[in-house]
Amino acid sequence: MDDRQFRNAMGKFATGVTVVATEVDGNVYGMTANAFMSVSLQPKLVVISIAEKAQMLEKIKQSGTFSVNILAAEQKELSMIFAGQLKEHRDVEFEHLGKIPVIPGAIAQITCEVSAAHVEGDHTLFIGKVTNIQLEDGEPLIYYSGKYRKLENDD
Ligand code: FAD
């Protein structure tokens, strides 16, 4: 099986889009990620999957904390910024929830402490113990088959 077929198959799974953010020595780092899911209710745990080549991997190991920011439909540009899809650097304002940086306008800001890290193949799964949540009304940004989409009402 070739890599392209695997990627195409995984791309058939429509997801939301998040920006994972963390802070080390006063510097904030963000990375677009859709490999995110809820793991447990008691205790409240989530998981993210970070590629071994991503700068974000070392940053999360250093800080031991991260936020997952579920992007709103109108935040496609932020997704592109933090996926390295835009050529030029853009300044992005972060807020803080507790001491962890979060993205203003995200429909959910979820802050976590790393409770475990599992290396699997070329990615590391970080299990995050949820420390705080802030929600905002709004529609989500969707990612499907390598393209950004918006939700459509079925009525
Ligand atoms: P960098 O390449 O250093 O950073 C990424 C970009 O963010 C750079 O352009 C940088 O300038 C910018 N940036 C970082 N911090 C700031 C800041 N404070 N202010 C302004 N700009 C900043 N990869 C995974 O490992 N796991 C996933 O689940 C995943 N899901 C993805 C989902 C989608 C929809 C997309 C498009 C990509 C996904 N990726 C995922 C790929 C990942 O987003 C890119 O490979 C990313 O460029 C890796 O970032 P990095 O940590 O190496 O950091």
Contact of 47 with 126, CB cutoff 8 Å? yes
Contact of 35 with 16, CB cutoff 8 Å? no
122: region left, alpha or beta (phi > 0 left; psi from -120 to 50 alpha): alpha
pLDDT along the chain (155 residues), means of 10: 94 98 98 98 98 98 98 98 94 97 98 98 98 98 97 83
Residue 32 pairs in a beta bridge with 19
CA distance 20 to 102: 8
Report the first-to-last Cα separation within the chain, whole angstroms. Answer: 40
Q: Is 82 in the pocket of ligand 1 (CB under 6 A)?
A: yes
Tokens 């992005």 belong to: 92
CA distance 135 to 54: 28
- The residue whose C-alpha atom lies closest to atom 9 belonging to ligand 1 is 84
Taking the CA of residue 17 as reference, the ligand 1 atom at the shortest distance is: 34
**Residue 148 amino acid letter:** Y
Contact of 125 with 134, CB cutoff 8 Å? no
- Expressed in angstroms and rounded, the spacing between residue 55 Cα and the centre of ligand 1 is 8
- Expressed in angstroms and rounded, the spacing between residue 80 Cα and the centre of ligand 1 is 8
For a ligand 1 pocket test, name from 19, 22, 32, 36 the mutation site with the most ligand atoms within 8 angstroms of its C-beta. 32
- Answer yes or no: pTM beyond 0.75: yes
